[in-house]
Structure 1
Amino acid sequence: MKAMILAAGLGTRMRPLTDHCPKPLLPVGGKPLIVHHLERLAAAGITDVVINVSYRAEQIIAALGDGSDFGVAIAWSREEMPLETGGGVLQALPQLGEAPFLLINGDIWCDLDPARLPRLQGDLAHLVLVDNPDHHPAGDFHLDDGGRVHAEGEPRLTFAGISLLAPTLLAGQAAGAFALAPLLRRAMTAGLVGGHHHRGGWVDVGTPERLDALDRRLRAERG
């Protein structure tokens, strides 16, 4: 299985930290945020990784190279302008192939073992969901007792920014910038989205304050 890390965003919520450094390279726990993803993927045996880049792309490419320092092989998907989640994935599909792939938001940290994710078995997507953080109390989706994900319903959980996707989820989409969420909601309506509740560590590293809190936590755990 291949993986894709979304790393093309402008990082506006992280300013002023991202004025001169792209968000994926911001240090946390002694290493760039994106390196945590690469090392976890390598440990799970997922070594073919596509990364989309736009804002300060050359800095990210220079820092990570071909990925060999981290036990992976990186293919780069360059975007002249950020294509949002859906558009970025669509552009990268030729590099990802025809099999289901793992998609990871570059601005999260999670201790999930990707090797433990289930196969899609006919679904278009499998979403990792987590408890609602304080900054997002309303959540995103409902996970029923059968492991199916719904756009409506209670209780609600937050999408962790980690998913298994079938390339056919994007079938018929035109190139350009568009969000992935509407396609996922359409697939939910068709009953083609599964998911599970991850109860381990997860952080949406969306602000300097949350980045600092995660950094202090990881350094404390390392002793």
Structure 2
Amino acid sequence: MIQTKYLPCLLLAAGRGGRMRPLTDHVPKPLLTINHKSLLAWHLEALSKSGINHVVINHAWLGSKIESALGSGEQFGLKIAYSPEETALETAGGIAIALSILQPHDYFLVINGDVFSPNLPIEKILITASTLEKSVNQLLAHLFMVPNPIQYPEGDFYLQDGLIHPDDPGGAERLTFSGIGIYHKDLFQDLTVGLPAKLAPLLREAMKLNKVSGEKYLGPWHDVGTPQRLLELNAVYE
């Protein structure tokens, strides 16, 4: 199995969280709580239990509050570093600028800071990363896909025979990207560090080359996109 210390993890926490206003006017979205625990804390505890100890968190909107709340990561048994952005650089832009801090050998884990996925099987993700590392056909990404939620019925990409496609290759299942993925650093090699860049175009180009694998994840997963959804989750996980 891949040594956990060599699979760094980036938690994405730079978004403004506009749909969550007014809650996010004074609190960054990833610090909103479910059962008195912030969304970021749920992720950090899961990572710590799995043995991953190198975590980077990017931030922009109210980023100082994230650093104040989480500190060095000692409370979680982790080493947390931060990748501040003066203005949010979009997902791929944020990843590109954080790579110098992550310093992955090849693959690294990325998790959206504003999704809620209790019992996320990090140990299984580590096994997947190890398999990717040993593969002759070096893939650029492995995405965890989920059934389309009611608020997003159209989904994102198609999954068939372990590969993800931007368009239906014929009879494939269209699913939603969970915001959880394993990436190879080469996926971002052509980006200009410090400039905004979206992730989806990079993934689509890699998919056309059959360089993106994936799997369907059926465990608990929620996009915490509205104050009402946050309220409902707190009722379930009280």
Under TM normalisation by the shorter chain, which class is it?
over 0.9
The answer for the alignment partner of 1:198 in structure 2 is 217
Kindly indicate whether residue 101 of structure 2 is the aligned counterpart of residue 95 of structure 1.
Answer: yes
The answer for the alignment partner of 2:12 in structure 1 is 6
The answer for the alignment partner of 2:145 in structure 1 is 129
The answer for the alignment partner of 1:83 in structure 2 is 89
Residue aligned with 1:81, SS: coil
Q: 1:160-208 CA deviation, whole Å, 9 max, x = no partner?
A: 0000000000111112011011001110000000000001100000111
Aligned residue runs from structure 1 range 73-222, under 5 A: 73-97=79-103, 98-110=105-117, 111-117=119-125, 118-119=128-129, 120=132, 121=135, 122-144=138-160, 146-153=161-168, 154-175=172-193, 176-219=195-238
CA distance in 1, matches of 2:29, 2:18: 9
Give, as a single letter, the amino acid of the residue that structure 2 aligns with 1:90.
Answer: A
Q: 1:23-75 CA deviation, whole Å, 9 max, x = no partner?
A: 11111122111100000111111110000011111111000000110121101
Q: In percent, how many aligned pairs have the same letter?
A: 45
Give, as a single letter, the amino acid of the residue that structure 2 aligns with 1:137.
Answer: P
TM-score (norm: length of structure 1): 0.95
CA distance in 2, matches of 1:96, 1:60: 18
CA drift at 1:155:
2.3
Residue aligned with 1:63, SS: helix
* Contact 1:112 1:198 (C-alpha < 8 Å) held by counterparts: no
Q: 1:124-183 CA deviation, whole Å, 9 max, x = no partner?
A: 000000000000001111110x21111111420000000000000011111201101100
TM-score (norm: length of structure 2): 0.90
The answer for the alignment partner of 1:42 in structure 2 is 48
CA distance in 1, matches of 2:80, 2:196: 23
**Runs of 4+ in structure 1 displaced over 3 angstroms?**
none
| Structure 1: stretches of 5+ with no match in the other structure | none
CA drift at 1:99:
2.3
Give, as a single letter, the amino acid of the residue that structure 2 aligns with 1:115.
Answer: E
CA distance in 1, matches of 2:230, 2:106: 34
Q: 1:62-91 CA deviation, whole Å, 9 max, x = no partner?
A: 000001101211010010110010100000
The answer for the alignment partner of 2:3 in structure 1 is none
* Contact 1:29 1:218 (C-alpha < 8 Å) held by counterparts: yes
| Structure 2: stretches of 5+ with no match in the other structure | 1-6
CA distance in 1, matches of 2:180, 2:199: 13
